A and B are shown apart, each in its own frame.
Chain A
Amino acid sequence: QSVLTQPPSVSAAPGQKVTISCSGSSSNIGNNYVSWYQQLPGTAPKLLIFASNKRPSGIPDRFSGSKSGTSATLGITGLQTGDEADYYCGTWDSSLSGYVFGTGTKVTVL
């Protein structure tokens, strides 16, 4: 049972924008940075966003992250067919003294 809630799926046409929400609590998102991971079919997750809004080297600026209170959001602009994947948020939970992942969101390009 994940403590971070995401919508099961989002979809949009190529070139459009999607946003994915991640809802938590004061013990996790409210007091820690959020990361986002992209998992393409059949592959391991890949770090997409760290420290809530920073991109690792090599991640295009079409991907962006933000955080407000106990929620975080991932945005993908200029949607491409190669963006079809599952996306997970994650952060440290101070109450659990452990890492927690979101429930995951499947992005479909129409």
Chain B
Amino acid sequence: QVQLQESGPGLVKPSETLSLTCAVSGYSIISPYYWGWIRQPPGEGLEWIGGVYHSGSTYYNPALKSRVTISLDTSKNQLSLKLISVTAADTAVYYCARLDDSSRTFNFDYWGRGTLVTVSS
């Protein structure tokens, strides 16, 4: 059973960097899947942030691309998210998830429970 668990600071100051990790268990992240990050501001909908393939190739939301870096740590079987120059608009629950793109089906089949990050001084 694939399990994902997000972790990181729950409070980040404006203009600083948001850093989160997602520990994956029950599956190797070097297997041919895509691992992504999604966020959800309080009371709002889902927003795809971006993700990384097992090969290291990355895809980012164009609206966030200039501020986002997503990477894999194969030694720890985890992925990470860094978002620089944060503002209050980046306050959200952040989820990591696995994207199954086999046969171009493109579905997030496993999700973490999410972690709330608040941007405030």
A interface residues, tally (CB under 8 Å): 26
| Contact B103 A98, beta carbon cutoff 8 Å | no
Mark the stretch among B14-22, B23-31, B79-87, B105-113 that contacts chain A. B105-113
User: In the complex, given contacts A44-B114, A50-B109, A90-B106, what are 6 additional A-B residue pairs having Cβ atoms less than 8 angstroms apart?
Assistant: A32-B106, A33-B104, A91-B106, A99-B51, A99-B99, A101-B38
**Contact partners of A71 in chain B: CB under 8 A:** none
Given A97-B59, A98-B61, A98-B62, are A47 and B46 neighbors across the interface (CB < 8 Å)?
A: no
| Contact A104 B106, beta carbon cutoff 8 Å | no
- Chain B contacts with A in 58-114, Cβ cutoff 8 A: 59-62, 95, 99-101, 103-109, 111-114
Binding site for A on B (CB under 8 A): 36, 38, 45-48, 50-51, 59-62, 95, 99-101, 103-109, 111-114
**Contact partners of B106 in chain A: CB under 8 A:** 32-33, 35, 90-92, 99
Judged by a CB distance under 8 angstroms, whether A82 is at the interface is no
| Contact B59 A35, beta carbon cutoff 8 Å | no
**Contact partners of A99 in chain B: CB under 8 A:** 36, 48, 51, 99, 106, 108
| Contact B103 A51, beta carbon cutoff 8 Å | yes
Judged by a CB distance under 8 angstroms, whether A103 is at the interface is yes
Given A44-B114, A51-B103, A92-B104, are A100 and B48 neighbors across the interface (CB < 8 Å)?
A: yes
